[in-house]
Amino acid sequence: MITEGELAVNENTQNILGLFDYVDDLIEAIHALKHAGFDDLVTFSPIPLHDVEHALEHGREKRPNTMAAMVKAVRDRDFHVVRFTLLGTVFGIIGALLLMIGTALSWPLPKGGMPILALPPIGLIGYEMGTLGAALGTIYGFLFLSRLPTMKDEVYDISVGSDKFGIAIKDLDSEKIEIAHRIMKDSHAVSVEERAGVLR
């Protein structure tokens, strides 16, 4: 890690990561960066910080507090795990029907006048397979939408999991990187460096 005002330069990177010892310095850097026109900020912290959330929200356009705006906000979000759950349920039920009907028709076992394709066992197995499909679909949907496991290097520093606070900015040209570096250093950043990798 590069400290004390040094900047790690890599021509292939466009992400910059600054680390801070204190929350006040981080919030000061957020305000200064937003004032300078940097809107796409990502923060890292070992604990939840409401002051940082408020600083990130400051200056954003407020949504009207109406039912239509809330429905639109929910619809526009990226979490759609429920769709994966529904898809898993449908595939589970279809799989159960194909398994039960296919097995009964391929190897018919007549039992004392009972129908070969009886509804109660088919319904029971369909319900169980639907539940299993829903659970597997939910797990897959969560992993898929969370982009886990990640196969690419991420812009991250291990110290933000214990005693540091971080702020990262992505997709910057060299001029903006210099401005962001100066602002973070003026806000008492312990280290500021360019990082290769994915920043979500």
Give the mean pLDDT of the chain: 83
Do residues 47 and 19 both lie within one domain? yes
Instruction: Tell me which long-range contacts 121-128 makes (C-beta under 8 A, separation of at least 24).
Output: 122/96, 122/97, 125/96, 125/99, 125/100, 126/93, 126/96, 126/97, 126/100, 128/96
Strand residue runs (E) in the chain: 15-20, 41-44, 165-169, 191-195
Q: Cα–Cα distances in Å, from 32 out to 60, 85, 131? A: 15, 43, 51
Tell me whether residue 71 is in a domain: no
pLDDT of 137 strictly over 90: yes
pLDDT for the residue numbered 145:
80
Do residues 137 and 161 both lie within one domain? no
Tell me whether residue 68 is in a domain: no
pLDDT of 11 strictly over 60: no
Quick check: 96 and 129 in contact, CB under 8 A? yes
- Domain membership of residue 31 as a residue range: 15-60+153-195
Q: In which band, very low, low, confident or very high, does the pLDDT at 25 lie, cut at 50, 70 and 90?
A: very high
Quick check: 167 and 41 in contact, CB under 8 A? yes
Tell me whether residue 134 is in a domain: yes
| Structure tokens belonging to residue 52 | 């940082």
Q: In which band, very low, low, confident or very high, does the pLDDT at 61 lie, cut at 50, 70 and 90?
A: low
pLDDT in tens, 139-181: 999 888 877 887 777 788 888 888 899 999 987 888 888 999 9
Residue range 39-52: mean pLDDT, rounded: 88
Higher-confidence position of 116 and 138: 138
| Structure tokens belonging to residue 60 | 């954003």
How many domains, the chain? 2
Show Cβ contacts of residue 82 under 8 Å, excluding neighbours closer than 6 positions. none
Do residues 19 and 42 both lie within one domain? yes
Q: In which band, very low, low, confident or very high, does the pLDDT at 3 lie, cut at 50, 70 and 90?
A: very low
Q: How many whole angstroms separate alpha carbon 46 and alpha carbon 159?
A: 9
Do residues 111 and 159 both lie within one domain? no
Q: In which band, very low, low, confident or very high, does the pLDDT at 88 lie, cut at 50, 70 and 90?
A: very high
